[in-house]
Structures are given as C-alpha cells and as structure tokens.
C-alpha cells in the first residue's frame, strides 16, 4: 500500500462508556463498558477496508468514533495529518465535508417530513449556504442520476420508495459534498439479496469514478469479500486480525477468523457438504467485564494459561497481521 496516499491513520483508539447500575446503591460507581479497546489501522486513497465481527464487537462504535459522533476515550484518529480527536468542534465539523457516512437502516436515516430533494440538498445548504437554489437543485439532480434515481421524483417523500431506493437516497446525500471517504455502517443488511448486490455494485462504481475510500462494515462475509481490499476482524472491541481480503479468506490465521470464515457458504454443493465448520464454544463475554489477557481466550480452542495474563498485540504488516500468542503470519 506504500504507493498510495495515506488518508486515515487510527492509533490505539479506545471508546468507553459509563454504565450506571440502577439496582445498586446511589454511591455505587458506574461500570465501564469497553466498546472499542485499542484498535489501530490505516486507510489509503481509493481503498476499501472491510470491518467484520459478531454483533456487539464494536464495529459501529468504532466507525462513529472515527467520524467524531462519539467521543474517544484515548488514541488518535489522524486524517490527512490532523488528529480529529484534538480538533475544536467547529474545525471537526468542517472536516465532515471530507468524511461522510451511510447508515444501516435506509428509511430510519431519512427525515420523513422532508422531500428527497431537500434530504440530498441539506449538506450543500449546510456547508455552502451561498449557493443559489438553482445551483443546489442542479447538483441534486445530477447526483440522483448518478446513484440511479430519476430526477423527476425529487419532490417525493421517503415512504414512497423501496428500501433499496431509500439507500440510494442515503448514498446520494453522503456523496453530494464529494467527500474523500465514506463510512458504510452495514448499508445492505436491511435489504433483499438482489438489492444488496445492486447497492454494493453501485458503491464500487462510484468509488472508481470519484476516487473514494470506503470503510465497509458488514456481517455478510461474502459481501465483504466482494467489495474489500483489506479486512479488519474485530472481537469484543479488539482487533484480532487484519489483512488483504485474499489473505484472510484463503488462509485465515486467528482462531476466531477461522471460525468466521468456516461459516461462509461455498457455491459448490460438494465442497459445501464436505467442509469443516469450526464452532465456537460458549457465549460472547460482556464488554463490561471482559476476560483478562486475550479477550478471545474463553472461547479459543488453543488457549493456554499464558493467554489469561497477556493481551497480544496486532503484529505483522498492512498486508497481514494477527493478534495471537500461538499463531503468526
């Protein structure tokens, strides 16, 4: 990746929340929920970085911390040489022209009282108030055409559209400012499979056309494999493996990654029938009271006593790195 410009450098990012115990005594201290606990990564120009993991592993919280929607407890989010966590609110707000987000629920993320045209135009009116109404309308129509929406529906409301069309509206709203990076927070999980493919292909086309970088969060590993250049695997707020999509899907190294990859369906019926699925024992621990040492040790088939006292660092390169005491790349 050294031949591409570095856009985003996240260093040891931590996001903690204080949880009050309503059943406890008034002076009982609040518990600490470690939603993201020391995640580091780099994102390069034109690259798509997939982020995968079980529900509750901190994927969405990590994305919101990168864009500044939730405060970081510690760590750095360096965007084009500037640490976003240190910027005043006004300067951080200006940076949002360059970093936009597409949300999981396409209908819930759109204001039902606003027309499609007003929804897509809102970022332009916020950041470029001097644009005339005619200029705004022209840019909105051009963006609608680009994402596959007919400009003549500009005065309709979100409830008049399907889920896939609503997500296209959300994509148009995110792209209207011509950002450098888009964070896609499970943008296809609420859509039918055929519509998922259309939206993913649309994102790939727009990425190639506009030179976008993407952070793509998803549960569906098949979708992640299709769209991603590199993939980050998270577990209980920690990064356990990071590497190119080919490296992770062809030769997963961390025991958790192996279990995830073994669950991906194979199109060939014979291979699917004969493959070995690596089942994980036990339940996902609580992020309020995570295991000591390696957070995956309570479900890991190769855990030893050493794993209870040592939290392994993510070691390797941008091409492939892993966080495990008993495996390496």
Distance between CA atoms of residues 183 and 178, nearest Å:
13
200 Cβ neighbours under 8 A, 6+ residues apart: 188, 223, 226, 227
Closest by Cα among 148, 146, 152, 204 to 175: 146
Concatenating the DSSP letter of every residue in 251-318 gives S--SHHHHHHHHTS--SSHHHHHHPPP-PPPSPPPPTTSPPSSSTTTTT-TT--GGGGT-----EE-S
Neighbour count for residue 193 (Cβ, 10 Å)? 10
Distance between CA atoms of residues 308 and 149, nearest Å:
54
> Is residue 237 within a helix (H) or strand (E), and if so which, with residue range?
none
Are 152 and 105 contacting, i.e. CB atoms less than 8 angstroms apart? Answer: no
Annotation: CATH topology of 6-46+57-94+181-190+218-322: Rossmann fold (3.40.50)
- Extract the runs of DSSP E, i.e. beta strands, from the chain: 6-19, 31-44, 48-52, 74-79, 82-83, 99-102, 181-185, 213-217, 230-235, 238-244, 315-316, 320-322
Tokens representing 238 are: 């920690």
> Is residue 59 within a helix (H) or strand (E), and if so which, with residue range?
helix 59-67
Q: With b meaning 16 or more CB within 10 Å and e meaning fewer, what string describes 304-321?
A: eeebeeebbebebeeebb
What pLDDT, on the 0 to 100 scale, is given for residue 267? Answer: 76
29 DSSP 8-state letter: P
> Is residue 328 within a helix (H) or strand (E), and if so which, with residue range?
none
Distance between CA atoms of residues 268 and 266, nearest Å:
6
Neighbour count for residue 178 (Cβ, 10 Å)? 13
What pLDDT, on the 0 to 100 scale, is given for residue 152? Answer: 93
Domain residue extents for the chain: 6-46+57-94+181-190+218-322
Distance between CA atoms of residues 41 and 272, nearest Å:
33
Distance between CA atoms of residues 133 and 163, nearest Å:
28
> pTM for this structure?
0.90
What pLDDT, on the 0 to 100 scale, is given for residue 130? Answer: 92
Closest by Cα among 297, 301, 259 to 276: 259
What pLDDT, on the 0 to 100 scale, is given for residue 24? Answer: 63
**Tens digit of pLDDT per residue, the chain (329 long)?**
557 899 999 999 999 998 877 666 677 788 899 999 999 999 999 999 999 998 889 999 999 999 999 999 999 999 999 999 999 988 988 898 999 999 888 888 899 999 999 999 999 999 999 999 999 999 999 999 999 999 999 999 999 999 899 999 999 999 999 999 999 998 888 788 888 888 899 999 999 999 999 999 998 888 898 899 999 999 999 999 999 999 998 899 999 999 988 877 777 777 777 777 777 888 889 889 899 999 999 999 999 999 999 989 999 887 899 999 988 87
Are 120 and 109 contacting, i.e. CB atoms less than 8 angstroms apart? Answer: no
**Sheet bearing 74-79, strands edge to edge:** 31-44, 6-19, 74-79, 82-83
What pLDDT, on the 0 to 100 scale, is given for residue 23? Answer: 67
What pLDDT, on the 0 to 100 scale, is given for residue 195? Answer: 85
Are 221 and 260 contacting, i.e. CB atoms less than 8 angstroms apart? Answer: yes
> Quick check: helix, strand or coil at residue 191?
coil
């Amino acid at each position: 990746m050294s031949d591409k410009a570095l856009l985003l450098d996240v260093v040891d990012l931590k996001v903690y929340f204080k949880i009050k115990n309503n059943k406890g005594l008034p002076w009982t201290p609040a518990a600490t929920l470690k939603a993201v606990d020391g995640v580091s990564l780099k994102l390069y120009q034109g690259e798509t970085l997939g982020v995968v993991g079980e529900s509750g592993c901190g994927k969405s919280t990590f994305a919101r911390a990168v864009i500044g929607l939730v405060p970081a407890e510690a760590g750095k989010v360096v965007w084009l040489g500037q640490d976003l966590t240190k910027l005043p609110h006004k300067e951080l707000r200006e940076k949002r022209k360059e970093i936009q987000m597409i949300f999981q629920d396409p209908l819930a993320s759109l204001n039902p009282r606003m027309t499609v045209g007003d929804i897509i135009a809102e970022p332009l009116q916020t950041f470029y108030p001097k644009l005339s109404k005619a200029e705004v309308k022209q840019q909105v129509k051009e963006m609608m055409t680009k994402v596959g929406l007919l400009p003549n529906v500009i005065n309709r409301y979100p409830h008049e559209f399907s889920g896939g069309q609503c997500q296209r509206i959300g994509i148009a709203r995110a792209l209207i400012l011509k950002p450098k990076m888009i964070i896609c927070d499970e943008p296809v999980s609420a859509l039918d499979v055929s519509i998922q493919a259309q939206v993913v292909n649309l994102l790939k086309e727009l990425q190639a056309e506009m030179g976008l970088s993407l952070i793509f969060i998803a549960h569906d590993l098949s979708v992640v494999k299709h769209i991603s250049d590199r993939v980050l695997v998270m577990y209980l707020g920690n990064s356990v493996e990071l590497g190119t999509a080919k490296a992770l899907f062809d030769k997963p190294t961390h025991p958790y990654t192996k279990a995830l990859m073994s669950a991906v369906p194979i199109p060939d019926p014979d291979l699917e029938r004969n493959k070995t699925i690596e089942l994980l024992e036990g339940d996902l621990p609580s992020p309020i009271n995570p295991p000591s040492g390696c957070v995956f040790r309570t479900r890991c088939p190769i855990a030893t006593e050493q794993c209870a006292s040592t939290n392994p660092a993510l070691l390797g390169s941008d091409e492939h790195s892993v966080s495990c005491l008993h495996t390496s790349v």
